[in-house]
Amino acid sequence: MLYKAIVRPAVFRISAKDPEFAHHLIMEKLAFASKFQSLLKIIEATSAYKSPALERDVFGVHFPNPVGLAGGFDKNGLALPALAALDFGFIEAGTVTRYRQPGNDRPRIFRFSDVDALINRMGFPNDGADAIHERLLKLPAAGVPVGWSIGKSKITPPAEAVEDYRYSLRKLYDFAAFFTVNVSSPNTPGLRTLQDKEPLDQLLQAMVQEATALAQQRGNVIPKPILVKIAPDLTEEQIQDVIEVCLARNVGGIIATNTTLARDGLRHSTEQTGGLSGRPLLTRSLEVVNYLSRQLDGKIPIIGVGGIFSPDDAKRMFDAGASLIQIYTSFIYEGPGIIKQINKKLLY
């Protein structure tokens, strides 16, 4: 209520020309709060909604509730404790690349407030795996499972992509509950071709092998799960290829979906390139999760993401076959209260 009546109008107004300004403003506050237990306790006291009935065990990880923050919000892992205090059941941090990179020129996020949507062409701006590793050594743990999303550096040619992903996995291995292989962002040239059967097979095989070796070095039998995040723009045939590879390579889970190149659901035509997220994406993300779950028949868990704006949307995503869900754009439009609203509804 307070968020939609006061905070959102103010923040949207001062960031009308460049919505990314709002993002940095909020991230700055959350990063600051993350350093102080007293502030985290206050956030938690106003946000937390805990119940054993909300807890989930999926791909060997225990989650306090099934509502997570989707990849791309906290790209450098600066505000994980505060985001956990807001009551996310898990956080997907990143997307991180091997090399530090600035991303595309600003503005690169565009609001379509009449339909609760965003278009972004961020292009993975992040500090790079080395710097993030150094920082994580000094930061307190988030308190909820954190998955690190890994992508390909822009300067790395596709032929060297596997080593690029593997490098980030090694650097972040000790800070993650799971990893997401991001092959579905539309904003890094050539990235989505890594969803094709052969390159995906090579990439996932290498990632699972690397995780297994890293686990063994640490005396663990079970490696941390490797998930893959797919685009909503794949055909059924392409999804079928992804499924075959995931089953063959022991992938821990499939995250569906990333942003779309389609422009369905926008009321005005736009020249802006990039990926569309938010309310217009829900129909397609539900379709993809439904298809995946029918084909997978429970063999690999699914995280459903894309256009979830209400407890009813969340319920539809679970009914479609998701074991966990994630939100991003509704966190911006509806505010953090959306997490509690969804969790409350799940109990009744």
Question: Is 75 annotated in some ligand binding site?
Answer: yes
328 lines the binding site for ligand FMN (CB under 6 A): yes
Q: 124 a known binding residue?
A: yes
Instruction: Return the axis-axis angle of helices 129-138 and 161-172, rounded to nearest 10°.
Output: 10
CA distances from 52 to 56, 57, 316 (A): 9, 12, 22
Does 168 bind ligand FMN (CB under 6 A)? Our answer is: no
CB 254 within 8 A of CB 106: no
185 binds ligand FMN (CB under 6 A): yes
CA 187, CA 263: separation in Å to the nearest integer? 15
Question: Do 109 and 120 form a contact (C-beta atoms < 8 A)?
Answer: yes
For residues 183 and 228, is the Cβ–Cβ distance under 8 A? yes
By CB under 6 A, residue 278 contacts ligand FMN: yes
Residue linked to tokens 């390159």: 199
Does 324 engage in binding with ligand FMN (CB under 6 A)? no
Region of 39-47, 54-62, 240-248, 276-284 interacting with ligand FMN (CB under 6 A): 276-284
- Asked if the bond preceding 283 is cis, omega within 30° of 0, the reply is no
Q: Determine the straight-line distance between the first and last CA of the chain, rounded to whole angstroms.
A: 22
User: Per the annotation, does 121 bind a ligand?
Assistant: yes
Stretch of 2-10, 66-74, 168-176, 191-199 contacting ligand FMN, by CB under 6 A:
66-74
Other CB atoms closer than 10 Å to residue 84's CB: what's the count? 26
146 near ligand FMN, rule: CB under 6 A = no
Q: Report the 10 Å Cβ neighbour count for 282.
A: 21
Q: Which of 27, 30, 54, 70 binds ligand FMN (CB under 6 A)?
A: 70
Q: Does 188 bind ligand FMN (CB under 6 A)?
A: no
Nearest CB to ligand FMN, comparing residues 285 and 293: 285
Instruction: Say how far apart CA 246 and CA 43 lie, in whole Å.
Output: 38
Residue 118 in contact with ligand FMN, rule: CB under 6 A: yes
**Site for ligand FMN (CB under 6 A): how many residues?**
27
CB of 70 or CB of 245, closer to ligand FMN: 70
Instruction: Candidates 27, 80, 86, 109: give the one binding ligand FMN (CB under 6 A).
Output: 109
Among 64, 89, 307, 321, binds ligand FMN (CB under 6 A): 307
Show the DSSP H helices in the chain as ranges. Answer: 2, 8-14, 20-33, 37-47, 80-85, 129-138, 161-172, 197-217, 236-248, 282-296, 311-320, 329-334, 337-347
Residue of the chain from 162, 329, 334, 340 that contacts ligand FMN (CB under 6 A): 329
CB of 306 to ligand FMN, least distance (A): 4
Helical H segments across 34-79, by residue range: 37-47
Nearest to ligand FMN of 68, 81 (CB atom): 68
Applying CB under 6 A, among 34, 97, 153, 330 the residue interacting with ligand FMN is 330
CA distance 135 to 150: 17
Q: Which of 15, 34, 168, 185 is catalytic?
A: 185
Based on the residue annotation, tell me whether 277 is a catalytic residue of this protein.
no
Q: Return residues touching ligand FMN (CB under 6 A).
A: 70-72, 75, 95, 109, 118, 120, 122, 124, 149, 182, 185, 229, 258-259, 277-278, 281, 305-308, 327-330
Catalytic positions, please?
A: 185
Q: Which residues fall in the annotated binding site?
A: 75, 95, 120-124, 149, 182, 187, 229, 257-259, 278, 307, 328-329
